[in-house]
Amino acid sequence: MSDSHSLAQILIRSVIRAFHTTQEVLAIEALVQHSCLRDDELAYLMKMNTKDLHRLCASLRDARFLTVHTRPEVIEGKTRPVNRTYYYIDYQQTVDAIKWRVYKTDKDMQGIAKPQDESKEYSCPRCKSQWTQLEVLDSVSIEGFLCLRCEAVLERSQEQEQPGHQQLSRMNNQFKFMTDMLQQIDKGLVPECSFDKAIAVARPIVREAMHEVLASVPVEDAGGMGKPSAVKGLANMGPKTMQVTISDGNEEAELIESRKRKERFLRENALPSWITDSSVPGAGCDGCAPGGEL
Ligand SMILES: [Zn+2]
């Protein structure tokens, strides 16, 4: 394990403790310890139902603290594969997200802190009002600036820190552990993480006997274990022949049906006898049928 990786771990564990709920702390702690956990495993460790766990992990995913991975698996004794959900921490991504949030908070706080020239650095010893330099610039005497309200000589405030600046330095103090660690992490390289890498080093959880669950294997492995997979089984049933039989029957029935329809159509649309049978005995109707020769 590289230095940057273990530093990233410390950073993530500290940040989650500083800014998040106990449940979120526990979920991340479990993922740090186990590397990769399926939703029902994490739910078991957290003593939560999976629905609540999914909600918790969705908010952690949105905060980039964990990554969600799903893959189809076949549960022991069943034939249909189901999608199973796994959680793991992509340290690179999480460190970047923390870095971004530190930067963003710092920028937001800079906005709150007012520039120096806007601070009220003059105060009146008599009426206790405060003024900026710009406000009292015109109200000047030999002794100094005068109060705009009571005309007493103003005193210059002693290095009075503005609330914005106080907040900023307080934030800098509180964020110091993060900025320091981020700088150290940046000296090295946090190794890339993927689901395959995370699950390869995953520490299995030990369940009590009464909480054991059926084994579940990924679909790509199921075939390799000599078990006939559901998909292959279906292919061997030969639906082709069935389809052909059905199709054959249909074709024949359709043929008969279409012939009947044609006959009925001809019957219904046949010209009336007064047209087909000429009034001239012995003569046909060849000459008077529509489209025929005149
Ligand atoms: Zn005054």
pLDDT in the model for residue 115:
61
Structure-token pair, residue 223? 């075939």
Burial class of residue 228 in the structure, from the number of CB atoms within 10 Å of its CB (0-12 exposed, 13-18 middle, 19+ buried):
exposed
What separation in Å is there between the alpha carbon of 114 and the centre of ligand 1?
Answer: 24
CA distance 214 to 243: 37
pLDDT in the model for residue 148:
92
Q: Which residues pair with 74 in a beta bridge?
A: 217
pLDDT in the model for residue 17:
94
What separation in Å is there between the alpha carbon of 119 and the centre of ligand 1?
Answer: 17
pLDDT category of residue 127 using cuts at 50, 70 and 90: very high
pLDDT in the model for residue 251:
62
For range 97-122, the mean pLDDT: 79
pLDDT in the model for residue 266:
79
pLDDT category of residue 236 using cuts at 50, 70 and 90: very low
Structure-token pair, residue 227? 């078990």
What separation in Å is there between the alpha carbon of 126 and the centre of ligand 1?
Answer: 5
Summarised one tens digit per residue, pLDDT across range 24-74 is 999 999 999 999 999 999 999 999 999 999 999 999 999 999 999 999 999
What separation in Å is there between the alpha carbon of 139 and the centre of ligand 1?
Answer: 12
What separation in Å is there between the alpha carbon of 138 and the centre of ligand 1?
Answer: 15
Q: What is the largest CA-CA distance in the chain?
A: 142
Summarised one tens digit per residue, pLDDT across range 183-199 is 999 888 888 889 999 99
Q: Cβ(92)–Cβ(193) under 8 Å?
A: yes
For range 105-130, the mean pLDDT: 79
| Helix boundaries (H) for the chain | 3-19, 22-34, 39-46, 50-62, 91-112, 133-136, 163-187, 195-200, 219-222, 230-236, 239-268, 273-276
Q: Taking CA 68 as the corner, what is the angle to CA 64 and CA 70, rounded to the nearest 5 degrees?
A: 165
What Rg do the C-alpha atoms of the chain give, in angstroms?
42
What separation in Å is there between the alpha carbon of 11 and the centre of ligand 1?
Answer: 51
What separation in Å is there between the alpha carbon of 165 and the centre of ligand 1?
Answer: 26
Report the 10 Å Cβ neighbour count for 121. Answer: 20
Residue type, 99: K
What separation in Å is there between the alpha carbon of 112 and the centre of ligand 1?
Answer: 28
Phi, psi of 227 (to 5 degrees): -85, 135
Q: Is the pLDDT of residue 119 over 80?
A: no
What separation in Å is there between the alpha carbon of 134 and the centre of ligand 1?
Answer: 16
What separation in Å is there between the alpha carbon of 151 and the centre of ligand 1?
Answer: 6
pLDDT in the model for residue 245:
36
pLDDT category of residue 96 using cuts at 50, 70 and 90: very high
pLDDT in the model for residue 256:
78
- Class in CATH terms, 1-114+164-228: mainly alpha
Name the residue among 240, 223, 224, 241 with its Cα closest to residue 232.
223
What separation in Å is there between the alpha carbon of 159 and the centre of ligand 1?
Answer: 20
Q: Cβ(154)–Cβ(146) under 8 Å?
A: yes
Annotate 231-262 with b (16+ C-beta within 10 A) or e (fewer): eeeeeeeeeeeeeeeeeeeeeeeeeeeeeeee
Summarised one tens digit per residue, pLDDT across range 69-82 is 999 999 888 889 99
Sheet holding 67-75, edge to edge: 36-38, 82-88, 67-75, 216-218
What separation in Å is there between the alpha carbon of 154 and the centre of ligand 1?
Answer: 8
